[in-house]
C-alpha cells in the first residue's frame, strides 16, 4: 500500500468551511497537499486521475471563495471530482473509490449534499447550473450556481443550447471553462481551434496579470488598464467574442494553476457579477504527476506512485474491443466503403488502430453522439458503410437520431456497441443496460449480441454484408473467453441462432456473453442429473422463431438469459410465445435479465452477483422452474 503523505494542512480540513481561516499562501500549500493525497488514493484504487489533478487549485479556490453546499458547484462529467470529495467530508473514504459499497467515481446526490448534481456523461453542467440559478430566483434553494466544464465537453451541442438559453435569460450564472486541450482523447473540431487561438503565443503570457483584474468588474483606478488588455486580447486573438455574442461576460484566459489569479478573479466575480459570466481557465490535465503522459493519466489501474507502473492483471485472451477493431480493419482492407465513426473515444473503442491504418476513413466527431449517428446516416445515404462505434451508455444520447434519421429511413448504419452489460467500477452511469430494449423495438432493426470473440468476428462480417437497413451488435468490456478466432469469419444468416447442447426437461436460451455462465451452471446441474438444452439466440431481432418455438414445444420449461434490462430480449421471446399460444400448452417460462434497479459500482462479477445472473443463479433458476429440491428429485 502506498504510504499516505503527511499533510498537516489537509488534516485540518473536514469540510469546505474550514478553508475560511486559511491565508492565500496556505491555500496554495493546501493545493499541493491535496494533489499528493489524490495521487496516493488513486494509486490504491485506480480511477480517473488526470482530470482531478488538473483542477486541484481550482477546486481549492472554488471552495475557499464560495459557500457550498448553499452555492451550487456543478462539475461537468465529474470524473475530476476526487479532490472535491476529499475537501467535502469524504477523505476518510477516498480509498474506497469505485469499489463496492464505496464512493462513486462521479458526483452523486445521494452520497453528499456537496454533490448538488449527479453526472458522468458530459456537457450537462451549464444546463443544470442554469436550472439552479432560475430556481434560486424563483424562490427555491441556493445561492450562486457555478458550472465547471471542460473544453472537450464544449464539443457537444447541449453545452451551446445551455449557453444560448443562459444568455437570453441573463441570470447571474458563473461558467468556468476548464481548458486543458484534453478530454479523454485530444479534443477535435472548430471550437478546439478557437479556444487555442484565445491563448496562443504572447497574448496569454502578456495578459495573465491583467486577467487577475476580472476586467469589467474591477474597481477604479484599474478598470482602464484591464479594459485595454481585454480589447487588445479580443482584437489579436478574437478573444471571448463568441461567448460575448451569446450574452456572457468573458474573463480570461487565466492560469488555472495560479492560486493568486484564481482567488482574485473568483472573489471579484462573486462580488460584482450580475448576469452570466464565463471564466476561461487554462489548466494541464495530470498536473504535477501525469501531465507528460499521452493520455495525461485519464484513467489508470492501481499503480506504484514512485514509478507510475500500473498493476494490471495479465490477460489470457484478447479484449472484445481489440477483436472488434482487428476484424473491422481486415474488412476495411478489402472494402474501401467501410468507414468508422466514434465520439471522443478512439482509444476506448479500438478505433485508434483503425485510424492509424485508414486515417481518411475514420472520424472522431468529439463528444457529440447525436451528430455521430446522423453523420453516419448521411454517410450511409451517400453509399458508404459506416460503423457507428459507441459505448452502449453513450449511444443513449443519440436515440432520437437513431429513430428519426436512421430507422425510419432504413439506412444501413452499422452500430458497434461496446461496453454492453454491466461494466464495473464506473457503476450505473456507464452500464450498458438498455440498448437491446431501445433498439429491438424499432421496425427494421437487426440486433445481435456476441457470445464470445469468435461470434463477434462473425457479427462484424454480418454487419459489413448487411445493406438493407440498420444493424447493431453488442459486446462487453474486458477480455474474451480465449476461444479460437477464425481467420475468415463468415456472415451469419440473419435471424438464425445456434444450438449449443441438446438436453431434456428445460431449455436455456442465452443472448450474449452470459452463455459462459450458462455452461458453468449446466456442469453443476449435470451432477444433479439434470441436462438442460442450451441455445445461443444470437439475434434479439429478428428472433429465430423456428428454433425458439421448437425449444418451447419440446421442453417442460424455457429460460432466457440476457445482459440487459427489462423489455429486451426476454420480452420479445415472451411476446412470440404468447402470440403462438405456447403458454396455453403448459410451458413454464422464466426470463433472467438485469433487475429493475440501477446497480452501483463494484467489480463486474460482483455486479452480476447483485443482479442474480451468475452461474449459481442460473442453476437455481433451473431447479426452481423444474420444482427440484437440492437432492435432485422433483419435490
Active site residues: 285, 369, 397
* Residue 391, Cβ density class (10 Å: 0-12 exposed, 13-18 middle, ≥19 buried): buried
SS3 452: coil
Pick from 232, 221, 160, 161: which is nearest to 189 by CA?
Answer: 160
| Cell numbers placing 83 | 479532490
User: Who's near 408: CB < 8 A, 6+ residues apart?
Assistant: none
- Per the CB < 8 A criterion, the answer to whether 283 and 180 are in contact is yes
What is the widest separation between alpha-carbon atoms in the chain? 92
3-state SS track over 392-406: HHHHHHHHHHHHHHH
b/e sequence 411-427, b meaning 16+ C-beta within 10 Å: bbbbbbbbbbbbbbbbb
| Cell numbers placing 41 | 488514493
Q: How far apart are CA 513 and CA 530, in angstroms?
A: 22
- In what order do the strands lie in the sheet containing 145-150? 72-75, 145-150, 173-179, 276-282, 249-255
Backbone angles phi, psi at 115, to 5 degrees: -95, 85
Pure H helices in 212-301: 223-237, 241-245, 259-272
- Per the CB < 8 A criterion, the answer to whether 122 and 156 are in contact is yes
| Cell numbers placing 97 | 473509490
Amino acid at each position: 500500500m502506498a504510504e499516505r503523505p503527511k499533510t498537516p494542512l489537509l488534516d485540518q480540513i473536514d469540510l469546505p468551511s474550514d478553508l475560511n481561516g486559511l491565508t492565500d499562501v496556505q491555500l496554495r500549500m493546501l493545493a499541493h497537499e491535496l494533489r499528493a493525497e489524490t495521487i496516493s488514493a488513486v494509486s490504491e484504487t485506480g480511477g480517473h486521475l488526470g482530470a482531478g489533478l488538473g483542477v486541484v487549485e481550482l477546486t481549492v479556490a472554488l471552495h475557499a471563495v464560495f459557500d457550498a453546499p448553499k452555492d451550487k458547484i456543478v462539475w461537468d462529467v465529474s470524473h475530476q471530482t476526487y479532490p472535491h470529495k476529499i475537501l467535502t467530508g469524504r477523505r476518510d473514504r477516498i480509498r474506497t473509490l469505485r469499489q463496492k459499497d464505496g464512493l462513486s467515481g462521479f458526483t452523486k446526490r445521494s452520497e453528499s449534499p456537496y454533490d448538488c448534481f449527479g453526472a458522468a456523461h458530459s456537457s450537462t453542467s451549464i444546463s443544470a447550473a442554469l436550472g439552479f440559478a432560475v430556481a434560486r430566483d424563483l424562490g427555491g434553494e441556493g445561492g450562486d450556481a457555478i458550472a465547471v466544464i471542460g473544453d472537450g465537453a464544449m464539443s457537444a451541442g447541449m453545452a451551446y443550447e445551455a449557453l444560448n438559453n443562459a444568455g437570453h435569460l441573463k441570470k447571474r450564472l458563473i461558467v468556468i471553462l476548464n481548458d486543458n486541450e484534453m478530454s479523454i482523447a485530444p479534443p477535435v473540431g472548430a471550437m478546439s481551434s478557437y479556444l487555442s487561438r484565445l491563448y496562443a503565443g504572447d497574448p496569454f503570457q502578456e495578459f495573465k496579470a491583467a486577467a487577475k483584474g476580472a476586467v469589467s468588474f474591477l474597481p477604479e483606478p484599474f478598470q482602464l488598464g484591464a479594459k485595454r488588455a481585454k480589447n487588445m486580447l479580443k482584437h489579436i486573438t478574437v478573444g471571448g467574442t463568441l461567448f460575448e455574442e451569446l450574452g456572457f461576460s468573458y474573463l480570461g484566459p487565466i492560469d488555472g494553476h495560479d492560486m493568486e489569479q484564481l482567488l482574485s478573479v473568483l472573489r471579484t466575480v462573486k462580488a460584482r457579477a450580475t448576469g452570466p459570466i464565463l471564466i476561461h481557465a487554462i489548466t494541464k490535465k495530470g498536473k504535477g504527476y501525469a501531465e507528460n503522459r499521452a493520455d495525461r493519466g485519464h484513467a489508470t489501474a492501481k499503480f506504484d506512485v514512485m514509478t507510475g507502473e500500473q498493476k494490471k492483471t495479465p490477460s489470457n485472451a484478447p479484449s472484445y474491443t481489440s477483436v472488434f477493431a482487428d476484424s473491422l480493419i481486415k474488412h476495411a482492407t478489402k472494402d474501401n466503403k467501410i468507414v468508422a465513426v466514434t465520439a471522443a473515444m478512439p482509444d476506448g473503442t479500438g478505433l485508434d488502430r483503425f485510424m492509424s491504418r485508414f486515417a481518411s476513413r475514420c472520424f472522431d466527431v468529439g463528444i457529440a453522439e447525436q451528430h455521430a449517428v446522423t453523420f453516419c446516416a448521411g454517410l450511409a445515404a451517400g453509399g458508404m458503410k459506416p460503423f457507428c462505434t459507441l459505448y452502449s451508455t453513450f449511444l443513449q444520447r443519440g436515440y432520437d437520431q437513431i429513430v428519426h434519421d436512421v430507422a425510419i429511413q432504413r439506412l444501413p448504419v452499422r452500430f458497434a456497441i461496446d461496453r454492453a452489460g454491466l461494466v464495473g467500477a464506473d457503476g450505473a452511469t456507464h452500464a450498458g443496460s438498455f440498448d437491446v430494449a431501445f433498439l429491438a423495438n424499432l421496425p427494421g432493426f437487426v440486433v445481435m449480441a456476441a457470445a464470445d470473440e469468435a461470434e463477434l468476428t462473425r457479427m462484424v462480417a454480418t454487419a459489413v454484408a448487411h445493406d438493407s437497413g440498420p444493424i447493431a451488435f453488442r459486446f462487453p468490456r474486458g477480455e474474451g473467453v480465449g476461444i479460437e478466432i477464425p481467420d475468415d469469419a463468415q456472415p451469419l444468416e440473419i435471424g438464425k441462432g445456434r444450438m449449443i447442447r441438446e438436453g431434456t426437461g428445460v431449455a436455456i436460451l442465452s443472448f450474449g456473453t452470459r452463455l459462459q455462465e450458462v455452461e458453468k451452471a449446466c456442469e453443476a446441474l449435470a451432477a444433479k442429473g439434470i441436462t438442460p438444452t442450451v441455445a445461443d439466440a444470437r439475434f434479439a431481432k429478428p428472433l429465430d422463431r423456428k428454433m425458439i418455438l421448437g425449444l418451447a414445444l419440446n421442453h417442460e420449461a424455457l429460460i432466457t438469459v440476457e445482459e440487459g434490462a427489462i423489455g429486451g430480449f426476454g420480452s420479445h421471446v415472451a411476446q412470440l410465445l404468447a402470440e403462438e399460444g405456447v403458454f396455453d400448452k403448459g410451458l413454464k417460462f422464466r426470463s433472467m435479465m438485469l433487475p429493475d434497479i440501477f446497480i452501483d459500482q463494484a467489480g463486474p462479477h460482483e455486479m452480476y452477483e447483485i443482479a442474480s445472473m451468475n452461474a449459481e443463479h442460473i442453476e437455481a433458476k433451473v431447479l426452481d422452474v423444474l420444482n427440484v429440491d437440492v437432492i435432485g428429485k422433483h419435490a
